[in-house]
Amino acid sequence: MAEAIVLIGTRKGLVIARSDGDRRSWNVEPMQFANQEVYAVAVDARRDPPRLFAGVGAGHWGPTLAHSDDLGRTWTEPEGAPVAFPQGTETALVRIWHIHPAAANQPDVVYAGVEPHALFRSDDGGLSFTLVAGLWEHPHRPSWMPGGGGACLHTVLTHPSDTQRVLVAMSAAGVYRSSDGGTSWEPANRGIQAVFLPEDQRFPEYGQCVHKVAMHPSRPERLFAQNHFGVYRSDNGGDTWQAIETGLPSNFGFPLVVHPRRPDTIYTFPLLADVERMPVEGRCCVYRSENAGESWQPLSAGLPEPPYYAAVLRDAMTSDGADQAGIYFGTRVGEVFSSLDDGDTWSILATHLPDVLSVRAAVVA
Amino acid sequence: MTVRLVVPTALRDCAGGSREVSVEGATLRDVLDDVGRRLPILERRLRDERGLLRPHVLVFVDGVMLRSEGDLDTPVHDGTEVFIAPAVAGG
């Protein structure tokens, strides 16, 4: 019998919600990693059973990465530090922001995006990681600025068939990509505006504050990006970008999710502005485009009535990848919502949690 | 020298549930290195990958609080108590 799980990383720990394959009712389990921030959660569905990851920040005691091979019932932290900067970098890990299992043709490769801006790669299924030196030694790195949340590498995308192609997104350094497995990297921000810079410098080679990039594996040349003001699409793997924000109430926001079965269907959660990080007009409302950003529809059926002031963070929206896809998002007032009809209607899945930092979901056969 | 390392409640899972563990060393730095060999997860809760004490980790040697990284060279003796505590921070 199928089991559905939703990993909910919060400011004060990890909560797992479980259901059967129907996903109509959920059992929200007690908090794990209590009082520790969980910025990154991931499901490595290439394994049977899937391996789960939690990037945990233990406050005074530093960050680490735990994994579970029993769907979150128990967790293991390797004796050797799973993610750590090597000697010679004179750098200490601040936070794990993102865990990305690579494509199926690299079954043991897992990437970790961290703060300060760096990419780590694991070739043993996520038990131990090595710094990707090509990005760390990039000549632009000394001039990469932190975003409001920190100097974070928060997004990793891997090409579904070409193992050499990797793309990362960093706040506020922009999008970079490699076509040689991470040895060399080039910025890929042409057409993306950095509205916070002086007017005559708003299209730099790099330095944009990208918040999230998403891709559907069936169309790897098509990318979507939610930026610090600006929603964009690239149809050429990041060579150039064009704005796709007509119809949105605001072009500011954090998450951007592609529907797992419909490559041109995308979701975001607009916020008013960087200085007012709350839903536009106090409406808790997801926006969906079914034509790759040419037009957008508001989706709020089943969501709380106005006023609603909570934001949705960059990794706090996701899908579960099932044939009848579930779409999920969590908010900074500790509520998690789910939809089984592509966002037309929403149901509350969990409430009264600490603020939600990250959400990932899967349906396991 | 064998010293007594007193582990705060929050870290006892990293020490097999123990409040106190015995570790070896001639200086405090040696002691932490020995913690790294015996209980590596506990050690990295105390020091980052550069070998520096994490900013909000307090260390008391026989009741005297360390004030700087240089204090890691403080000699220890048989029976010395090394007491670990979280700094009171946050809100």
pLDDT tens track for A130-183: 999 999 999 999 999 999 999 999 999 999 999 999 999 999 999 999 999 999
Quick check: A106 and A145 in contact, CB under 8 A? no
Min mean pLDDT across A19-33, A177-191, B22-36, B69-83 is at: B69-83
Does a cis peptide bond (omega within 30 degrees of 0) precede residue A365? no
C-alpha torsion angle, residues A287, A290, A292, A293 (rounded to 10): -40
Distance separating alpha carbons of residues B77 and B25, to the nearest angstrom: 8
**CB of B44 less than 8 A from some CB of A:** yes
Please report the pLDDT score of residue B89 as a whole number. 61
End-to-end CA, chain A: 6
Write phi, then psi, for B37 (nearest 5 degrees).
Answer: -75, -40
Q: What is the CA radius of gyration of chain A?
A: 19
Residue-averaged pLDDT of chain A: 97
pLDDT per position as a tens digit, B17-63 = 999 999 999 999 999 999 999 999 999 999 999 999 999 999 999 99
Distance separating alpha carbons of residues B5 and A348, to the nearest angstrom: 47
Segment A274-298 shows an average pLDDT of 97
Please report the pLDDT score of residue B67 as a whole number. 79
Measure in Å the smallest separation between the Cα of A290 and chain B Cα atoms: 44
Chain A residues near residue B48 by CB distance under 8 angstroms: 62, 92-93
Measure in Å the smallest separation between the Cα of A176 and chain B Cα atoms: 27
Is A92 within 8 Å of B57 when comparing Cβ atoms? no
Closest CA to B29 of B76, B84, B86: B76
**CB of A88 less than 8 A from some CB of B:** no
Does a cis peptide bond (omega within 30 degrees of 0) precede residue A49? yes
The DSSP line for B39-66 is: -HHHHHHHB-TTSPBPTTEEEEETTEEP
- The proportion of chain A whose per-residue pLDDT surpasses 70, expressed as a percent, equals 100
Give Cβ neighbours of residue B58 (< 8 Å, ≥ 6 apart). Answer: B65, B66, B84, B85, B86, B87
Closest CA to A4 of A43, A32, A40, A37: A43
Which residues make beta-bridge pairs with A8? A15, A359
Please report the pLDDT score of residue A124 as a whole number. 98
Q: What is the CA radius of gyration of chain B?
A: 12
Q: Which of residues 49-78 of A touch B (CB under 8 A)?
A: 58-62, 64, 77
Confidence class for position B69, pLDDT limits 50, 70, 90: confident
Distance separating alpha carbons of residues A28 and A276, to the nearest angstrom: 31
Say yes or no to pLDDT of B90 above 60: no
CB atoms within 10 A of CB A123: 14
Closest CA to B67 of B49, B91, B48, B87: B87
Measure in Å the smallest separation between the Cα of A64 and chain B Cα atoms: 9
Segment A88-100 shows an average pLDDT of 98
Residue that the structure tokens 């068939």 belong to? A161
Q: Which of A81, A85, A91 sits opposite B44 (nearest CB)?
A: A81
Q: Which of A58, A77, A84 sits opposite B49 (nearest CB)?
A: A84
